[in-house]
Structure 1
Amino acid sequence: MNWYLHVLKNYAVFKGRARRKEYWFFILISFIVAFVLSFADQALNTPGASEGSGLLGAIYSLAVLFPTIAVGVRRLHDTGRTGWWMLIVLLPIIGALVLLYFFVLDSQSGSNEYGDNPKEGQIEFE
């Protein structure tokens, strides 16, 4: 849960690097929250719930939009790529697959132009 909160606290930080653990724990917890909210939307019959995107889910999606983009950019920095690679997602299917590949790559060892390797010397969350 600390990785999730760490990303939310750094919602506007597009500099630096984010290791895989930080990125994927944030994505996992976001998915779980969205899944639970979809059930809440169905139970409360919120506007849009019958179409698959209820009010609570939409509000949550908007709330985590910037943190998701920011951690994605930092994750790309960790692999030695510029954050502009996020725009490749605009290419249907291929773009998402390329980003997925970049996000599962290991960190670039040592320092790069975006900062020090977060694996080396970072305090682990318990």
Structure 2
Amino acid sequence: MQWYLDVLKNYVGFQGRARRKEYWMFFLFNSIVSIVLSILDRVLHVSPLLSTLYSLAVLLPYLAVSIRRLHDTGKSGWWLLIGLIPLVGAIILIVFMCQDSQPNDNQYGPNPKNEFKSLS
């Protein structure tokens, strides 16, 4: 849950890098909340009001963590636009998001894995 809240706090942080764990934990909690809100929309017999409002609220944090995740693998945030290509784009993005971090500092900043090691 802390990973989800950290992404929300850094909702306009497009600079730097994001670990795989940060991205996928945000994705997991975001998916769970979306499913729960969709169920609530159906139970309350309202148009998808709650899920639409939630989706709009987390759009910027999702874009920010996705771009930082691409930065962590050494790719520009513009690669996120490849997701606009049906099916193939989504598969390519999933592969990018699953890749390990570049081991050392890159043009987007220091490796976030090393930052956590030095704190412990």
Instruction: Name the structure 2 match of 1:81.
Output: 75
| Aligned match for 1:59, one of 43, 46, 53 | 53
Give deviations 1:42-75, integer Å, cap 9, x for gaps: 111112xxxxxx1100000111111101100000
Instruction: Name the structure 2 match of 1:51.
Output: none
Instruction: Name the structure 1 match of 2:16.
Output: 16
Percent of pairs identical after alignment? Answer: 56
Give deviations 1:3-24, integer Å, cap 9, x for gaps: 0000001110100000000000
Deviation at 1:39, TM superposition (A): 1.1
TM superposition score normalised by structure 1: 0.91
CA distance in 1, matches of 2:34, 2:25: 14
Q: CA RMSD in A?
A: 0.9
Structure 1 position 104 matched with structure 2 position 61:
no
Structure 1 position 41 matched with structure 2 position 33:
no
Runs of 4+ residues deviating >2 angstroms? none
How many aligned positions are there? 117
Query: 5+ unaligned residues in a row in structure 2: which ranges?
Result: none
Instruction: Name the structure 2 match of 1:5.
Output: 5
Query: 5+ unaligned residues in a row in structure 1: which ranges?
Result: 48-53
CA distance in 2, matches of 1:7, 1:122: 16
CA distance in 1, matches of 2:42, 2:86: 29
Q: Which one has the bigger helix percentage?
A: 2
CA distance in 2, matches of 1:4, 1:73: 16
Deviation at 1:90, TM superposition (A): 1.1
